[in-house]
Amino acid sequence: MSITIRNNTPLRGIVPPMVTPLNSDGSLDVNSTKKLIEHLISGGVHGIFILGTTGEFSGLSYRTRKEMIINTCDIVAGRIPVLVGITDVSLEESVELADYSYKAGAYAVVVAPPFYMNIDQQEMYSYFNQLADSISLPMFLYNMPSHTKLTIELDTVVRLSSHQRIIGLKDSSAHAVYFQSLCHAFNDQEEFALMVGPEEMMAETVLMRGYGGVCGGANLFPQLYVALYEAAVNRDFDTIKELQAIVMEISKGIYQLGGYKSSYMKGLKTALSFMGLAQAQFAPPLYPFSALEVEELKKIYNQITAKLTILEVQQ
Amino acid sequence: MSITIRNNTPLRGIVPPMVTPLNSDGSLDVNSTKKLIEHLISGGVHGIFILGTTGEFSGLSYRTRKEMIINTCDIVAGRIPVLVGITDVSLEESVELADYSYKAGAYAVVVAPPFYMNIDQQEMYSYFNQLADSISLPMFLYNMPSHTKLTIELDTVVRLSSHQRIIGLKDSSAHAVYFQSLCHAFNDQEEFALMVGPEEMMAETVLMRGYGGVCGGANLFPQLYVALYEAAVNRDFDTIKELQAIVMEISKGIYQLGGYKSSYMKGLKTALSFMGLAQAQFAPPLYPFSALEVEELKKIYNQITAKLTILEVQQ
Amino acid sequence: MSITIRNNTPLRGIVPPMVTPLNSDGSLDVNSTKKLIEHLISGGVHGIFILGTTGEFSGLSYRTRKEMIINTCDIVAGRIPVLVGITDVSLEESVELADYSYKAGAYAVVVAPPFYMNIDQQEMYSYFNQLADSISLPMFLYNMPSHTKLTIELDTVVRLSSHQRIIGLKDSSAHAVYFQSLCHAFNDQEEFALMVGPEEMMAETVLMRGYGGVCGGANLFPQLYVALYEAAVNRDFDTIKELQAIVMEISKGIYQLGGYKSSYMKGLKTALSFMGLAQAQFAPPLYPFSALEVEELKKIYNQITAKLTILEVQQ
Amino acid sequence: MSITIRNNTPLRGIVPPMVTPLNSDGSLDVNSTKKLIEHLISGGVHGIFILGTTGEFSGLSYRTRKEMIINTCDIVAGRIPVLVGITDVSLEESVELADYSYKAGAYAVVVAPPFYMNIDQQEMYSYFNQLADSISLPMFLYNMPSHTKLTIELDTVVRLSSHQRIIGLKDSSAHAVYFQSLCHAFNDQEEFALMVGPEEMMAETVLMRGYGGVCGGANLFPQLYVALYEAAVNRDFDTIKELQAIVMEISKGIYQLGGYKSSYMKGLKTALSFMGLAQAQFAPPLYPFSALEVEELKKIYNQITAKLTILEVQQ
């Protein structure tokens, strides 16, 4: 079932960080998982990234993580690449998840730095290197300072890129200078994929040199983000302007409701529940919106879908 | 095997955050574990706290964590209370470790906030509450902002203290105002234990109202910290002055060598290797000192033990 | 008018960080300044520190800062030492304020690191050294990381202490390990004064080795903090317990009202207005409490003064 | 001498944050100031921003700041707009500098939040509002969280933009999502100028909707940044790619040498000294590079100028 992907054909496009549909008892909602995956594939996404921050990996048990891996790989069945987040604080557990992903037929793993111990860049380098040596799948680095409180500094990325199994980086820092520095450093190494996390900056990075985005909103509206990506690739500025405006409305309306630190996750998953693609069930420490907040979100969601209809973006 | 402890007899004294002795292949070094535990008990400590930050819990697999729990409980065999760190990012996994600890005969569990997702105090409150509802052992809160990047604010501690299973807090913030605020808030609730993490401030908190300390250096020299604790309880200022000076030399000489963010862990475990109580083996992302650094540490270690001999502190 | 103070008699005791009484037009309220200074001196304080953070130095024009310096020195008239905050982002302006303070008869100046540029310890060292070379008065270092976002690291303090004009440090970090490390490092240099900022930890530092505190609450109740300081010096634990409880009530009730980042300044100055010792007027960017908040503060203030009356602490 | 600028013609283009040329005694180097200004104007810049972070405003005395203002306005003599940084911790001093700038003929002032007191958004809003009410010139907000440790949040910017004197914002956060959120919020208010600080992201923001950049490197090579700006305006991707690569080499080679927190300032001003446009003299707390570092910088500088010569960019 494993997909053979040449290193010299780096990943490009929209790779949604898929949410993990859950039942009220915390177990995987397999039915929604199927529906959501079909929604994403029919929306034209270029890959799926499971068990990232948006996938609430940290709140899930290992059992549930494995169920998510095997179910996703089975449902996708090789149609698009599946990337699996194996970020952990224990290298041993990350390796175990990587092995499991390999056997399940995943395309690559994605790893942020171990996020409990305070470490320096040399320790981070050694860690990633040792991990890459211990697994069979290609590996993406995952820069996520807002959650790990650690930055994979440019020099460390460059050093790690010489490891044949490390094939790219997903940057969720939102730091435009950092991303431009990456683009400059890898100017002559097109095979090293540089994906960006925050969907609000996806278009501009693709215009400059980026490979695409790991856009949370693509769970909801995959075609919107795919169309924006293509507009950026084609330098179609009228379309960029039109679609970027909707992306920013999603960012403002759906990801910030209530002003919680967890508003992004709450807004995204609750909006998915409106589409019947997930229940509004979260892994602790996250909890659902109040009924009032759900109602408010519904209004915003309706306004956005109305605009998408006018733009003839399939939802 | 389980010890019955009345809620109205709170834990007091020196409860070392025990290091986890490891073999070079990352497995638990059971032999050293035995020796270290006997060293601690014969040094007079009032409890043992395993799988905390000093116990490198985050770098260990669940298998190794469980081996540490069962071995420690078996070796201690009820002689002193065993506290088990069950901090995790997944509530489900924490509950699993708590159940295992309960069956193994532990005295209590210790839990820091889930340290990946950015959450607010209400989410933290709900998390701890839900966790306390799901386990059978008494539970200590663990405030560790340098690692979790989250503070359990005073109001949250007060609210949580009404849960019958939450019996105290270990504060590793080193923030003297925070700790005094806790002491003031719990002035009328003597049964709620307030232990302090950084050994450099243990004596002063015990002088004021604190219950004791979770002193990393007590792995090396349990009698030193027990004697300092007793001096503070007895307000014996000559002894406090004498012993505090040694504690500060350990802090400066052993915990800061090399200037790494991980110098504390490296220094502590390497010094233990000089005593034959652990190998200088670490869980990733930590790695051993260089040979030169080990040599330098040895000199400092020898100076400190010479002073302890003069003071007639057993090592 | 200048007081001759031997370097070998370091400052000890309670040195309130005096608020700067202002009129509604932002000018110095000289009348309140007189009343407040007499209140402090009659309360037994061991010195006065003007133009610190509590003195709102940062919000004042240089003209007003100079008026505060000359008025304070004139009113105090040598009865107790006057310390002047000359913290600035421009070394040249700090030197100018130091010269002015010298001519006005101040005892010493107090300086935090320049707080705009991001600098390393070597730049900080050079800065303090150059400043100390350029002035005539003795100088205290002022560690205030919550506001300057810079820490004067232990090694930097030690290096700077060899400058004959640098005679001590005020630490407002609230970091107990940092303060204990200073105490240990200067164990053999009694002439280097180590004062602590947060009043909540004053007693415990004096018990250990500290020299006293720069307690904001001493603006309100100087006798309370002087009595607590003396109790700590005399190791009178019954009195410490009694007075520390009131100090913590002030901390909780007066400094946190409204939950603003500026609640400390608002609460302190508003409470002083109840005593007729200052108007509730602030330098921008701070603004007065609402009428409702003032009312609420008044209740808390009355409860505290009632307790002080019972304890026979003069207000 | 004052330039009348309509609010409905917002500032666009390259507005270098001009360094402040200093003599070795700390006074303004008027001769270099003249040369540098002519260099900038002949390089085609669209304005000059003096006394920003790059202008080392924080380290200068008020006397030197005023000399910089009057000299710059006199030399520029209305040829291009002069923006003056009046950021301070004292509103009163900022107003004084704004008055001085108005009389000198400046185009606008630029203000970051007061950077000592910890304040919330409401206090920040009131501060900016009160300041705007007290001055005669148009005013730019200056978001500079790396130095002020405060962010002007989107809602605060939106609220402040209704003040007729507040005409735009310079964002130096490097946070691409923040900048996109500003672009979205002001989509219908073209007269509100959104300039970006970090030159590494200037091109991509202009491609999306930005107005231009406050590029430090334009002190050295104004034509380079003007050409890149124009390429972005014209969506000339071949030129963007070519010039962006040089901009990134400047960023990497000149701004990071030595790995200091102040490397940017040191590198920029030292490179200017190679061109005879400033001395390598800094306001404290900054200090010159060592001779070895200067030599190393010279090599990098020569490589960059060689490339610019090949690209036929005037230096």
Could you say which of D177, D200, D240 has the minimum Cβ distance to residue A200? D177
What average pLDDT does range A1-9 have in this prediction? 50
Question: DSSP letter at D2?
Answer: P
Residue in C151, C177, C182 to test binding to B, most B beta-carbons within 10 Å: C177
CA angle at B234 for the pair B231 and B240, rounded to the nearest 5°: 30
Cβ distance of A119 and B285 shorter than 8 Å: yes
Rounded Cα distance between A312 and B1, Å, is 68
Contact A309, A247 (CB under 8 A): no
- C-alpha triplet A293, A299, A305: angle, nearest 5°: 130
User: What mean pLDDT is predicted for residues A2-19?
Assistant: 77
How many interface pairs between B and C have CB atoms less than 8 angstroms apart?
A: 83
Q: Which residue has the tokens 């990381």?
A: C145
Coil, strand or helix at C232: helix
* Interface residue D284 vs chain C (CB under 8 A): yes
C179 touching B, CB under 8 A? yes
Q: What are the angstrom distances between the C-alpha of C257 and each of A94, B264, C84? A: 46, 38, 29
Q: How far apart are CA D8 and CA D289, in angstroms?
A: 44
Confidence of residue D8 (pLDDT cuts 50, 70, 90): low
* Phi, psi (rounded to 5 degrees) for C168: 175, -175
Q: Neighbouring chains of C at 3+ CB pairs within 8 Å?
A: B, D
Low-confidence ranges of chain C (pLDDT < 70): 1-8
Confidence of residue D199 (pLDDT cuts 50, 70, 90): very high
Q: Please, which pLDDT band fits residue D9 given cuts at 50, 70 and 90?
A: confident
> Rounded distance, CA D121 to CA D155, Å?
9
Distance from CA of C142 to the nearest CA of D (A): 14
Tokens of A294: 């759900």
User: Which of D57, D86, D90, D144 is the mutation pick for testing C, counting most C CBs within 10 A?
Assistant: D90
**Interchain CB distance below 8 Å, D208 and A205:** no
Q: Report which secondary-structure segment, H or E, holds B105.
A: none
Per-residue confidence at A8, pLDDT binned at 50, 70, 90? Answer: low
Which residue do the tokens 């010096």 mark?
C233
Residues of B in contact with C205 (CB under 8 A): 204
Question: B6: buried, middle or exposed (CB in 10 Å: 19+, 13-18, 0-12)?
Answer: exposed
Condensed to tens digits (0 to 9), the pLDDT of residues D26-78 reads 999 999 999 999 999 999 999 999 999 999 999 999 999 999 999 999 999 99
- Per DSSP bridges, beta strands C212-213 and C193-196 are parallel
With 0-12 CB in 10 A as exposed, 13-18 as middle and 19+ as buried, what is A148?
buried
A239 and D CB contact within 8 Å: no
**CB-CB contact of D121 with D155 (8 Å):** yes
Distance of CA B50 to the CA centre of its chain: 7
For chain A, the three-class secondary structure string (H helix, E strand, C coil) is: CCCCCCCCCCCCEECCECCCCECCCCCECHHHHHHHHHHHHHCCCCCEEECCCCCCHHHCCHHHHHHHHHHHHHHHCCCCCEEEECCCCCHHHHHHHHHHHHHHCCCEEEECCCCCCCCCHHHHHHHHHHHHHCCCCCEEEEECHHHHCCCCCHHHHHHHCCCCCEEEEEECCCEHHHHHHHHHHCCCCCCCEEEECCHHHHHHHHHHCCCEECCHHHHCCHHHHHHHHHHHHCCCHHHHHHHHHHHHHHHHHCCCHHHCCCHHHHHHHHHHHHCCCCCCCCCCCCCCCCHHHHHHHHHHHHHHHHHHHHCCCCC
Task: Give the separation between CA C254 and CA C297, rounded to whole angstroms.
Answer: 7
CB C257 within 8 A of CB C288: no
Cα D197 to Cα D214: distance, rounded to the nearest angstrom: 5
Spell B291-311 as b/e; 16+ CB within 10 A means b. Answer: eebbeebeebbeebbeebeee
H/E stretch holding D14: strand D13-14
Find the residue in C nearest to D115 (Cα): C116
- The DSSP secondary-structure symbol of B244 reads H
- Predicted TM-score (pTM) of the model is 0.96
Q: Measured between CB atoms, does C149 come within 8 Å of chain D? A: yes
Residues B168, B194 contacting (CB under 8 angstroms) = yes
Structural contact between residues B185 and C245, judged by C-beta atoms closer than 8 angstroms: no
Residues in chain B: 315
* CA gap D21, D34 in Å, rounded: 10
Q: How far is CA C259 from the centre of its chain?
A: 22
pLDDT for C5 = 44
Q: What is the pLDDT of residue A313?
A: 86
Q: How many CB atoms lie within 10 A of CB D31?
A: 11
CB-side exposure of B172: number of CA atoms within 13 Å? 23
What percent of chain D shows pLDDT beyond 90?
95
Residue A280's alpha-carbon distances to A48, A60, A286, D12, in angstroms, are 21, 15, 11, 46
Q: CA B117, B119, B122: angle at the middle one, nearest 5?
A: 145
Q: B98, B24, B41, B89: which is closest to B65 by C-alpha? A: B98
Sign of the four-CA dihedral C129, C134, C138, C142 = negative
Q: How many helices (H) and strands (E) does chain D have?
A: 12, 8
Closest CA to B254 of B294, B201, B284: B294
For residue B126, what is the nearest residue in chain A, using CA coordinates? A285
Give the pLDDT band of residue A9 (cuts 50, 70, 90).
confident
Place of tokens 């460059």: A158
The C-alpha atoms of residue B228 and residue B297 are separated, in whole angstroms, by: 24
**DSSP letters spanning B129-188:** HHHHHT-SS-EEEEE-HHHHS----HHHHHHHTTSTTEEEEEE-S-BHHHHHHHHHHTTT
> D121, D183, D207, D304: best mutation site toward chain A, by most A Cβ within 10 Å?
D207
Residue D7: pLDDT over 70? no
In angstroms, rounded to a whole number, what is the distance separating the alpha carbons of residues C26 and C8?
40
User: Residue D58 and residue C261: Cβ atoms within 8 Å?
Assistant: no
Cis-peptide into C285, omega within 30 deg = yes
Examine the pLDDT at D2 and tell me if it is beyond 60. no
pLDDT at residue A290, rounded to an integer = 98
CB D199 within 8 A of CB D247: yes
**D178 chain-A contacts, CB cut-off 8 A:** 174
Min CA distance, C112 vs chain D (Å)? 11
Is residue D4 very low, low, confident or very high in pLDDT (cuts 50, 70, 90)? very low
Residues of D within 8 A of A172 (CB-CB) are none
In sign, the C-alpha dihedral spanning D107, D112, D117, D119 is positive
Contact between chain A and chain C (3 or more Cβ pairs less than 8 Å apart): no
**To the nearest 5 percent, what fractions of chain D are helix, strand and coil?**
50, 10, 40
Could you report the per-residue pLDDT of A47-94, keeping only the tens digit for each? Answer: 999 999 999 999 999 999 999 999 999 999 999 999 999 999 999 999
Instruction: Please list the ranges in chain B whose pLDDT falls under 70.
Output: 1-8
Give the pLDDT confidence score for residue B8 in this predicted structure. 62
Structure tokens at A272: 């998915």
What confidence score (pLDDT) does residue C8 get?
Answer: 62
Helices A237-253, A222-233: crossing angle, 10 deg rounding = 140
Residues of C with Cβ-Cβ distance to D129 under 8 angstroms: none
- Closest residue by Cα to residue A45 from A159, A210, A214: A214
Pairing of β C82-85 and β C48-50: parallel
CA distance D178 to A278: 29
Confidence of residue D258 (pLDDT cuts 50, 70, 90): very high
Interchain proximity C261–D146, CB inside 8 Å? no
B285: preceding bond cis by omega (within 30 degrees): yes
Chain CA centroid to CA B220, Å: 13
CATH, domain range C13-235: 3.20.20.70
Element (H, E) at C49: strand C48-50
| CA C3 to chain CA centroid, nearest Å | 20
Q: Tell me the C-alpha distance between B23 and A128, whole Å.
A: 21
Name the amino acid, one letter, at C98: A
pLDDT at position B228, please? Answer: 98
Interface of B with A in 98-127 (CB under 8 A): 113-120, 123-124, 126-127
D185 vs D192: CA distance, rounded Å: 11
- Touch between chain C and chain B: 3 or more Cβ pairs under 8 Å: yes
What residues of chain A, 66 to 95, have a C-beta less than 8 Å from chain B?
A: 89-93
C257 DSSP assignment: G
> Do D and B touch (≥3 CB pairs < 8 Å)?
no
